[in-house]
Structure 1
Amino acid sequence: MGEWPKGYTRHVFDTLDSTLSEAARMAPTLAGPAWLLAHEQTAARGRRGRAWSTPRGNFAGTLIMPRTGSPADAALRSFVTSLALYDAFVATTGQADAFALKWPNDVLLNGGKVAGILLESLGNHLVIGIGVNLAHAPTPDQVEARAVTPISLLQGTGVAVEAETFLNALARAFAQYETQFLTYGFAPIRTAWLARAARIGEVVTARTMRDETVGVFEDVDGQGNLILKTAKGRVAITAADIYF
């Protein structure tokens, strides 16, 4: 499966409250980017503080890295991470056609959610939390109404992947895309992401805490915004939950 990427440290724990919380505790001592993996989390969270189910056998990981560039550049790491997840799934299952990327930070397997990403700023660090349903998926009653149905990698592909094996593939893929991003900017990342995008050309609903926008998913612009074609024209969505 190749070597661990140079410049990144690797920290594996049996049980943690949360890899995001452990990253915060470790931040003052880190000299460079570090991957953290917990085989079990007892107090995990997802976007907007939602609970994220992480039973043993799934992947609960966090990358903490020095923050470089603008806050906008930091936000674009969700696309870098999505592409790395896609490549890690393909590397571990050999089933490229089964996966697609859902704006802004989920990975789909046969239309179900198999992975999610959470970005947070922590002082001079960027923290990227990643949850993957390797062996188990939450039941429908554990997710909000209209959300994409969860699926596990084992259920969707028939392939059993160990968390540490997945970490190795993910870390290598991330390092390659991160180097590309730092060297050439967002443009090639955007192109690669759009080639793997779910529901492009179809009607989707973008919901924020305040309103909903319905339109055809046309594009992602150079700032990472979702571009919808609506009855009132093209609309750029900066942040929202997307429903199909």
Structure 2
Amino acid sequence: MTDWPDGYGRRILETVDSTLSEAARIAPDLTGPEWILGLHQTAARGRRGRPWTHPKGNFAATLVIRPPGGPEQAALRSFVTSLALFDACVTVTGRAEGFALKWPNDVLLNGGKLAGILLESTGTPGQGSYLAIGIGVNLAQAPSPDDVEPGAVRPVSLLSETGTAVSPEDFLTYLAAAYARYETQFTTYGFEPIRQAWLARAARIGERITARLSNSETAGIFETVDGRGNLVLQTDNGRVSLPAAEIFF
């Protein structure tokens, strides 16, 4: 079994409204990075406040850190987290086949959505700013396709797609160890090694995709992710760089 990484706290809660909400409550009193695992969430949420279902046996955790640098550097932790999730999945299943990373915050398995990441900043004046990295993984069960946005990739679970059963507690240990390695790499060498590693695992590089914003959408060939984490598309009107969007294949 992988060892728990030095310097990272861990708290496991039987029931919590949301690990992200718990992160906001405890952040001011933390002296170092802290993992919060919720075995059952009563008010889980995803991107843009959407409800996030949490069937029994699935993984829901938040890492609270106080990262150096400004908001742009903090946002790059989504790539650090994606790589850690990828590695944790490979470790528990013993295979890399079928796993891929979808910009900006998802992990895919056999073309379906296995995991998602949500970043939230928290803090109050005089106490400093903290970053909460919320992570959901369908370890045991996948939500119904009716629970996702029309056109989005189908939800899948680790168990149904690979036959691998792993408890949320054990998965947390693998994930925390992988995150600590990538966080050290990021703080030591900057974003470029993280960017290259992410691109090597990216879904649909070189293919035509659609990036949808709240009031517009852009279609083009997925060229790369730039040094600021932006999606770069080659469209009919030239290259476009997008800092945020929902991606559809």
Task: Give how far 1:27 is off.
Answer: 1.0
- The letter of the residue matching 1:91 is T
- Structure 2 CA distance, aligned partners of 1:169 and 1:67? 21
| Structure 1 partner of 2:131 | 126
| Structure 1 partner of 2:29 | 29
Using the size of structure 1 for normalisation, the TM-score is: 0.99
Asked whether the equivalents of residues 41 and 55 of structure 1 are also in contact (C-alpha less than 8 Å), the reply is no
Task: Give how far 1:239 is off.
Answer: 0.2
- Give the gaps of 5 or more residues in structure 2: 124-128
Task: Give how far 1:67 is off.
Answer: 3.0
Matches within 5 A, 1:1-244: 1-123=1-123, 124-244=129-249
- Cα deviation digits, residues 173-231 of structure 1 (max 9, x gap): 00000000000000000000000000001000000012100000010000000000000
SS at match of 2:136: strand
Task: Give how far 1:55 is off.
Answer: 1.5
- Aligned-pair identity in percent equals 66
Q: How many residues align?
A: 244
Task: Give how far 1:77 is off.
Answer: 0.3
Using the size of structure 2 for normalisation, the TM-score is: 0.97
SS at match of 1:141: helix
- Cα deviation digits, residues 101-160 of structure 1 (max 9, x gap): 000000000000000000011021000000000001111111110011000000110110
SS at match of 1:80: helix
Task: Give how far 1:56 is off.
Answer: 1.5
- Structure 2 CA distance, aligned partners of 1:190 and 1:27? 28
- Structure 1 CA distance, aligned partners of 2:243 and 2:43? 29
Task: Give how far 1:25 is off.
Answer: 1.1
- Structure 1 CA distance, aligned partners of 2:241 and 2:24? 33
- Structure 2 CA distance, aligned partners of 1:66 and 1:224? 20
